[in-house]
């Protein structure tokens, strides 16, 4: 019953797909999120696409990933993601992507699942105002897919 309520709340609050957990209902424990955001296992190949796409995760703008050397120009703002799966488990990776500030206080990394609480929230890259809640930067499934890909990065 509680789960049903959460899902309904999710639809009402974020307007995202049926299966996605609302950001407000995501349980962070020491920065980690144990429960899947969708209940559907992540697809690593899709996750890789999310990471390289400027319109989606755009992860390589800040992070270097040796396994993605075919994608040109990796940034050096954040740490290399090589060996990410050796350093973090699935729940920790999910938490870091959903809201890295729960793991690293004051992190520069955007919170990819957060929908409210922004300073001057804008409508994507138009410069115009937007009303919260915003659609998250990535859907629950896109985050699950990125987690699946990151779990393949072992050294």
Partner 1 sequence: MNANAIKAMLTSAAVVALSCGAAVAEQEPAPGVLVINGDIEITTEVKAPDYIDGLDMAYSGWRFRASETQAFELDDFDNPGMIFVEEAQVVWDTVDGSEGKSCASCHDGPESMKGVRAVYPKWNEAAGKVTTIEDEINNCRTTRMGAEAWDYNSDTIRSMNGLITLQSRGMPVNVAVDGPAKETWEKGKELYYARTGQLELSCANCHEDHYGDLIRAEVLSQGQINGFPVYRLKDSVLTGVHNRFKGCVRDTRAETYSPGSDEFRALELYVSSRGNGLSVEGPSVRN
Q: How far is the CB of 52 from partner 1 (least distance, A)?
A: 11
Own/partner pairs, 53-60, CB within 8 angstroms, 24+ separation: 56/138, 56/142, 57/112, 57/137, 57/138, 57/142, 57/146, 59/146
Q: List Cβ neighbours of 23 (8 Å cut-off, separation of 6 or more).
A: 13, 14, 98, 113, 114, 115, 116, 133, 136
Question: Among residues 1 and 76, whose Cβ is nearest to partner 1?
Answer: 76
Residue 134 found at the interface with partner 1 (CB under 8 A): yes
Question: Among residues 69 and 72, whose Cβ is nearest to partner 1?
Answer: 72
Q: Among residues 129, 138, 146, 147, which is the contact residue for partner 1, using CB under 8 A?
A: 129
Helices (H), 28-89: 44-52, 84-87
Q: Which stretch binds partner 1 (CB under 8 A): 4-12, 38-46, 122-130, 139-147?
A: 122-130
Question: Among residues 38 and 92, whose Cβ is nearest to partner 1?
Answer: 92
Residue 102 CB: number of other CB atoms within 10 A? 19
Distance CA 119, CA 73 (A): 30
Residue 127 found at the interface with partner 1 (CB under 8 A): yes
Residue 76 found at the interface with partner 1 (CB under 8 A): yes
Q: Among residues 80, 89, 152, 154, which is the contact residue for partner 1, using CB under 8 A?
A: 80
Question: Among residues 17 and 108, whose Cβ is nearest to partner 1?
Answer: 108
Are 135 and 70 in contact by the 8 Å Cβ rule? The answer is no
Binding site for partner 1 (CB under 8 A): 60-62, 72-80, 87, 104, 107-108, 110-111, 114, 118-122, 124-130, 134, 137
């Amino acid at each position: 019953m509680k789960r049903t309520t959460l899902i309904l709340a999710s639809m009402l609050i974020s307007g995202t797909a049926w299966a996605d957990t609302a950001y407000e209902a995501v349980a962070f424990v020491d920065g980690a999120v144990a429960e899947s955001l969708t209940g559907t296992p992540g697809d690593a190949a899709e996750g890789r696409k999310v990471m390289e796409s400027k319109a989606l995760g755009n992860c390589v703008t800040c992070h270097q990933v040796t396994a993605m050397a075919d994608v040109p120009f990796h940034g050096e703002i954040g740490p290399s993601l090589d060996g990410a799966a050796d350093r973090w488990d699935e729940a920790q990776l999910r938490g870091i992507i959903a809201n890295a500030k729960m793991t690293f206080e004051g992190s520069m990394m955007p919170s990819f699942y957060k929908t409210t609480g922004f300073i001057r929230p804008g409508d994507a890259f138009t410069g115009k105002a937007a009303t919260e809640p915003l659609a998250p930067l990535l859907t629950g499934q896109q985050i699950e897919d990125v987690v699946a890909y990151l779990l393949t990065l072992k050294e």
